[in-house]
Amino acid sequence: NSSVLTNPEPLHDCIRKLFGHFFLFGASGLLTVATLSTIEDAYIFHKKDIIIVASCSGLFLALLSELIQYFVPGRVFAFTDVLIDLAGFISFGAILFAVVYFSNKKKIHKN
């Protein structure tokens, strides 16, 4: 019978993965989509390009961060961490993309 009080390791791992991977990469996703949306306003990108460029950026950052860990003693490359990173990046980026998209659509509809 293992509880969090006698074995805090699973809780520690969950919190570390949630905050160190999912939310940190979520913040990166927000910033990436915000930047690309600003560029889209200048008519350099189209909406579908924002989704593609942001997703590729998230995948690149996730793979790069894990690849760097591979070369650090005591750390390993974990594909599950890449997936968690990418999930955070895409989730937060998609939320912001939807907010920007629907607010722009509402502005266009008003005019």
Per residue of the chain (111 residues), what is the pLDDT tens digit? 456 566 668 777 888 888 888 999 999 999 998 888 887 665 666 777 888 888 999 999 999 999 999 999 999 999 999 999 999 999 999 999 888 888 877 776 666
b (16+ CB within 10 A) / e for 71-98: eeeeeeeeeebbebbbbbbbebbeebbe
* pLDDT at site 67: 95
* pLDDT at site 22: 92
Q: Using CA atoms, how far apart are residues 70 and 102, in angstroms rounded to an integer?
A: 41
Among the listed residues 45, 93, 86, the one whose alpha carbon sits nearest the alpha carbon of residue 62: 86
pTM, rounded to two decimals: 0.78
| Backbone angles phi and psi of 105, in degrees to 5 | -65, -40
Q: Using CA atoms, how far apart are residues 53 and 49, in angstroms rounded to an integer?
A: 6
